Amino acid sequence: MSGRLRPTTASLAAALSLLLFLAAAPVFPDTDAASVRLAEPARLLGEGVNPGPQGAARPAPPEAQRGAAMTLTVPRLGIRELPVPTGSTQRELDREGILHLAGTGPPWREGSNTFIAGHALGFRQTRVPYVFYRLERLRPGDEIVVRDRRGRAYVFRVYDRLTVRPQDYWVTYPVAGKTTISLQTCTPVPTFERRLVVRGELVDGPPS
């Protein structure tokens, strides 16, 4: 009889459980290769060039965060009055963790689509890691609230969610007949092969 141990059903089940846990657990990536994969929200938006190996993005100075044109509140995700800077580069997104795409919106412009990209994970230097890690939890009717620099609130209600390819730039375009907000992140973790987009329609705001 061979001295080798035969795996039992219990040991196989335990090993499978461990592998599934490791695949799903959030981690901070450290390599440039991981950066390229997490960079894809900006690729979707037409960035086209990923940051080269020039070192990590530096944290934004506090005054830059205070100067954000809007804050974001998403009660179901536990996001409260989060400053959202405006930008268009991958380096900015990696640094901040969340970014209002320049040229979209703002929510106080009728007929606009305010497009906000956020990392599902992030990096060690990211100001707000995991910001949209649970984006898939949003359901129709959930509230998304944006406030401008004067504190005026623009209330959106979720009405749609879709999964698209990285090259589907059309998700950044305005939606006919609506004033909308779009929240986008990479999915699924950890492959980031697709983009999850959750859309809300403006239902309340200050008088024009």
Q: In the 3-class helix/strand/coil scheme, how is 6-48 assigned residue by residue?
A: CCCHHHHHHHHHHHHHHHHCCCCCCCHHHHHHHCHHHHHCCCC
Coil vs helix vs strand at 173:
coil
**What does pLDDT average to over the chain?**
77
Rounded to an integer, what distance in angstroms lies between the CA atom of residue 105 and that of residue 116?
10
Whether residue 88 is contained in a domain is answered as: yes
Per-residue pLDDT, 27: 44
Per-residue pLDDT, 54: 37
Category of 74 on φ-ψ map: left (φ > 0), alpha (ψ -120 to 50) or beta: beta
Q: Is 186 a catalytic residue?
A: yes
Per-residue pLDDT, 37: 36
124: domain CATH number is 2.40.260.10
Rounded to an integer, what distance in angstroms lies between the CA atom of residue 9 and that of residue 153?
56
- Using 50 as the pLDDT threshold, list the residues of the chain that sit under it: 1-5, 7, 12, 14-42, 45-66
Per-residue pLDDT, 9: 54
Per-residue pLDDT, 167: 86
Whether residue 44 is contained in a domain is answered as: no
Instruction: Residue 166: count other Cβ atoms within 10 Å of its Cβ.
Output: 17
Number of domains in the chain: 1
Whether residue 114 is contained in a domain is answered as: yes
Whether residue 115 is contained in a domain is answered as: yes
Of the listed 91, 95, 119, 127, which one is catalytic? Answer: 119
Q: Which helix (H) or strand (E) holds 81?
A: strand 79-84
Whether residue 94 is contained in a domain is answered as: yes
Of the listed 186, 197, 198, 202, which one is catalytic? Answer: 186
pTM higher than the cut 0.85: no
Q: Is 205 a catalytic residue?
A: no
Decide the pairing of beta strands 86-87 and 79-84: unpaired
In terms of residue numbers, what domain contains 183?
69-208
Per-residue pLDDT, 72: 98
Instruction: Residue 14: count other Cβ atoms within 10 Å of its Cβ.
Output: 12
